Amino acid sequence: MLKNLWYVACLADELDQRPRAARMLGHDFVLFRSAEGAIACLADTCVHRGAPLSQGRCVAAGVQCPYHGWVYGHDGRCVQIPALGQDARIPERARVDAYPVAERFGLVWVFLGDLADRARPAIPDFLPEYLDADGWAFLHGRFDYAANWERVFENHIDSAHTHFIHADFGNPDDPRVPTATVHTEGLGAWAEHSYKPRPKRGPLGQLLDEHRPMVRTRLAFDLGGMGVRLAIRMTETMRQVVFQAFTPVDDTHCISHYIQARNFLTEPEHDASMRADLEKIFTEDRQILERLRPVLAPESPAGEVSVGSDALPAAFRQQVRRWRSAHGRVRSPDRSGIDSISAIASPARSGSGGWVFPSA
């Protein structure tokens, strides 16, 4: 798993003034929102005796540990130790990692790493429709996979599987993927594809098919926000965008937070059927993704065979290798929580020592 990138921890409306647990990159975090609306994300384990802060409660100064009531502020520093009274000196080491947070597109993003502000990749502008929302409807959701994040991510930029896994819109009679130019930009890449949808049955279906336009898609990914944007031009006027941000829970589990934007059937009464259609597709993907071996994607290109239609996934693999060699990797700790724990290093670690838990 990769650090020093932005990951989605939850949907913005899931976060209130109750602490919320999130597991990301094999580590535990607590998120909460102050009464004024400011969001915080801290490492979840109290440095006193190891209780989960996410089981505590929110107070004016931050989050209070459920075990002995220590209070940690939004910057991760302990500001109160109730057993010592009001004016007690707080030990310097009484602090947990605090991570940069942002709220964008109705999602809560956390920067899991120790890069200073100016060195961090930006959250890409994945969904301009969200900022200029006139005529668009949006659907937010979450989908879980018992599969490695790289395998899941790659699936969503892989056009060739569509015709075999997705019977509703793939076209197994013409499964060719025309060679597309892959444009690499920053931490991502994009490519455009078009295909003839699966023919409909019967004479009327055939007649209609002759006049049906090619479906045009533009697929883009960016590691900066670990996201994929699929923009589909279904007809001259009908547009659909499916944006997904992938969060590795650990090496073998991954969550997708998704947003569908559509400029047709925009009334809320269509949301349930839109969600059912989308999740049917995700379920078809999940059935195969949870069975891929090895569970982790091979590190070297020699560990599998790639062909021309894998160009966009290959660009993704390349970006992952580049980021991994520059920033290292995080693995699910083998005996995490049994004899030791680690924390993802936060920006405050550069230039200050004395942290209780070693960095991952």
At position 233, the amino acid (one-letter code) is R
- Contact pattern from residue 67 through residue 96 relative to ligand FES, giving x for each residue in contact according to CB under 6 A and a dash for the rest: xxxx--------------------------
**DSSP classification of residue 83:** G
* C-alpha distance across the termini of the chain, in Å: 11
Task: Give the DSSP H/E element, type plus range, for residue 318.
Answer: helix 311-327
Question: Looking at 23-31, 49-57, 101-109, 167-175, which segment touches ligand FES (CB under 6 A)?
Answer: 49-57
Whole-number Å distance between alpha carbons of 137 and 128: 13
Q: C-beta of 221: minimal distance to Fe ion in Å?
A: 14
Question: Looking at 25-33, 100-108, 278-286, 289-297, which segment touches Fe ion (CB under 5 A)?
Answer: 278-286
Whole-number Å distance between alpha carbons of 263 and 137: 6
Whole-number Å distance between alpha carbons of 114 and 93: 18
H helices then E strands: how many in the chain?
Answer: 6, 18
Q: C-beta of 108: minimal distance to ligand FES in Å?
A: 24
Q: Is 51 in the site for ligand FES (CB under 6 A)?
A: yes
Strand ordering across the sheet containing 71-72: 57-59, 62-64, 71-72, 78-80
- Tell me which of 8, 65, 110, 228 binds ligand FES, using CB under 6 A: 65
Nearest CB to ligand FES, comparing residues 82 and 172 = 82
At position 68, the amino acid (one-letter code) is H
| Contact partner at residue 126 from Fe ion, ligand FES, none, CB < 5 to 8 Å by partner kind | none
| Contact partner at residue 21 from Fe ion, ligand FES, none, CB < 5 to 8 Å by partner kind | none
By DSSP bridging, strand 227-233 and strand 57-59 are unpaired
Q: Please answer whether residues 145 and 152 qualify as being in contact, where contact means their C-beta atoms are separated by less than 8 angstroms.
A: yes
Q: Is 49 in the site for ligand FES (CB under 6 A)?
A: yes
Question: Looking at 48-56, 138-146, 195-203, 341-349, which segment touches ligand FES (CB under 6 A)?
Answer: 48-56
| Contact partner at residue 285 from Fe ion, ligand FES, none, CB < 5 to 8 Å by partner kind | Fe ion
Q: C-beta of 110: minimal distance to ligand FES in Å?
A: 22
Site for ligand FES in 27-46 (CB under 6 A): 46
Tell me phi and psi for residue 348, to 5 degrees: -65, -15
Binding site for ligand FES (CB under 6 A): 46, 48-51, 65, 67-70
